[in-house]
Structure formats: structure tokens, C-alpha cells
Amino acid sequence: MASTRYEKPAAAELQGRLTPLQYEVTQKAATEPPFRNEFWDNHAPGLYVDVATGEPLFSSTDKFDSGTGWPSFTRPVEPGRVVERDDTSHGMRRVEVRSQGGASHLGHVFDDGPAPTGVRYCINSAALRFIPAARVAAEGYPEYAALFESGAAPAAAPAAAANSCTVDAGPPPGCAATLETALLAGGCFWGMEDLLRKIPGVLETEAVYTGGALPDPTYEDLHDGTSGHAEAVRVVFDPKRISYADLLEKWFFRMHDPTTKNRQGNDVGAQYRSAIFVTSPEQRKVAEEVKARVDASGKWPRPVVTEIVEAGPVWRAEEYHQDYLQKHPGGYTCHYMRD
């Protein structure tokens, strides 16, 4: 094992360095939503390190598709990098895994993985930073560069039913996320994201394209309205601090006009439609109930036309769209909170 020492920074430094989502996961043992996280489907060769300390943890050569929606590995990059602890939360006994140097919460390890180890390290993307193979040596990890010289591919994915988190009856409590994702569209995502990111309990926002059939869309693809995509915001939130219902009723339906079809202010087109992309039957039920209450409230002079549809593939918008109004204070927006 390399001799470099990795130590946990002071709490104030960590809070300044990490995003709210990264902090909740690594320091408070939260679990991010499956399938809607950064690395679950990442197949590029490279090294995964602790987002808090930089300690090397896992290699892409040991990564496999477990069907769970979280990054999964058959083993750490080397012995001693990951430590195990008993976890009795959720009324069950599991084995939590943390980084050795910084004690960052990473996830859990299960004894239902593929060969050659037979174990599955189920890890939160938010606990990791990924270093592409071509950058491993340059970023200070030359001793690990040889892992990727042969272009080794990730291990073959086991069948989805081969582990305890993909059982037909639904995942047990130990495999459930403690955080939720909402996908909301209400016009230009610049103004939407700026308001959503300030809500107490919201940990992460991202400007995205979703709702259409065109794969890998760009901003230009949305201009003629044929892509079917909407400008939307992916919101990761803590349901213990703000419920999905309150996120919709107290914030989403107040920050845009849900009665104008395919339009917000001067922005006209299907890409500017009002829509809630639900990720579960429970979210659909809540969204329909909230929409009905808003429609019956009399606060809007016209019927609410917000679409409630199943969430599909989501594509991250170009970097210049992310946190646009933070980068450009006073920039264009037609969003504000109504009474």
C-alpha cells in the first residue's frame, strides 16, 4: 500500500469543500438515490478516490453492474483502504464501509457479489471522485497507473436478481435510499435551478434535459421543439427536512405559472412546459394530489396544465447552464416566488 497519509480535514473545511450532498453522504451516512447518481453507469477506466481526502479506494477494473443503481465493486483497490463497521440501523444488521484515512461513509458490503471475491461493495457516488486512467499519474497516483495500461474492462455484470438489493419483491430497507430525487420542469432552467437550490433540505440541483426521445440532446436540439425534451432541474433532497409534497406545493407551483401551456413568460415552446417527471408510484400519487389542491385553490385564474409523466432518461445540460445565475448574477429569469 502506498505510504501517503490521508487524514480527515476539519469540519469547517469539509463543509466548504464538499457539496451538501457529498457532506450528507460522507459525514452523516446518508444514502443517495439509485440510478440517479454520477457513477452508477460509468464504464470509463480510472481510479475512484475518497471525495473528502483523496485516498484511493476502488479501481474501474473491479467495478461491475450489480443492477442496484449504485456503483458496485468486487474489492477495494488494495487491502487496508476500506474499513468495516457493524451497522444496526433500519432494524437489521449490515456491514458499513468507510475510508481508512478520513472515515468517510462510503456505503455497505454484502456477501452476494460475483467471482472472484463473492462480495459486493455498494458505494455512494457522492462519496467518490473519479480520476480517468489517463490522469491518474498526473494527479498524484503514479503507483496505480499500471492498473489501466492493458485497458482492462469492468467485470461482467451478474444477473440483476443475484443480490439482495434486486429481489423481485422490492429492495429490503437496508438497500433503500435515505435521499430522494425530484425532476421538475417549469420553463427556463436558469431561474428554476436558482430558486430550487436555495430551499432548505435541497442538497443538489442540476440543469438537465428530459422527457423526449432524442438521445444525448444539446441546447440547440431543443430550439425547434422536435426533440420532445423539456428544460428541467434534477433535485436531490432530504425527505426528513422537506417532503415531496411541500417541495411541489410550497415551492414548485409558486415559482412558475403552471397554467400556461408550453410557455413561461417570454419563453415559448414545448421545452418550456410545466411538468413533473415522477420516479415512483408514490411520487405520482403525491403529485396528482398536490396538483388537484393547487387547481382548486383559486390562486390561478386558469386551469393548471402541469403534466405528470413517468421519468425517463435524463441528460445533463451543458456546463454553462449549470448554476447559471450564480455565475451571472442579474442574468435573465422569469421566475419568482408568488404569494
* Residue 209 · residue 314 · CB < 8 Å: yes
C-alpha cell at 114: 460475483
- pTM of the predicted model, to two decimals? 0.78
* Residue 120 · residue 112 · CB < 8 Å: yes
Question: From the candidates 165, 175, 188, 334, which is the catalytic residue?
Answer: 188
Catalytic residue flag (residue 175): no
In CATH, what is the architecture of 11-175? Beta Complex (2.170)
**Residues 92-119, mean pLDDT to the nearest whole number:** 92
d(CA 81, CA 90) in angstroms, rounded, equals 26
Question: Confidence band (pLDDT; 50, 70, 90) for 144?
Answer: very high
**Alpha helices, H only, the chain:** 11-17, 20-28, 189-196, 244-246, 253-255, 281-296, 324-327
Assign 228 to helix, strand or coil. coil
pLDDT in tens, 149-195: 865 444 444 444 456 665 454 555 556 788 999 999 999 999 999 99
282 burial (CB, 10 Å; 0-12 / 13-18 / 19+) is exposed
Residue limits of CATH 2.170.150.20 in the chain: 11-175
pLDDT in tens, 287-308: 999 999 999 999 999 999 999 9
Has residue 246 got a pLDDT over 60? yes
pLDDT in tens, 187-223: 999 999 999 999 999 999 999 999 999 999 999 999 8
Q: Buried (b) or exposed (e) across 101-124, using 16+ Cβ within 10 A?
A: bbbbbbbbbbeebbeeeebbbbbb
* Residue 161 · residue 230 · CB < 8 Å: no
Q: Which superfamily, per CATH, for 180-327? A: Peptide methionine sulphoxide reductase MsrA (3.30.1060.10)
How high is the mean pLDDT of the chain?
90
Of 73, 72, 71, 65, the closest CA to residue 40 belongs to: 71
Question: From the candidates 122, 165, 175, 334, which is the catalytic residue?
Answer: 122
Question: What pLDDT is attached to residue 274?
Answer: 98
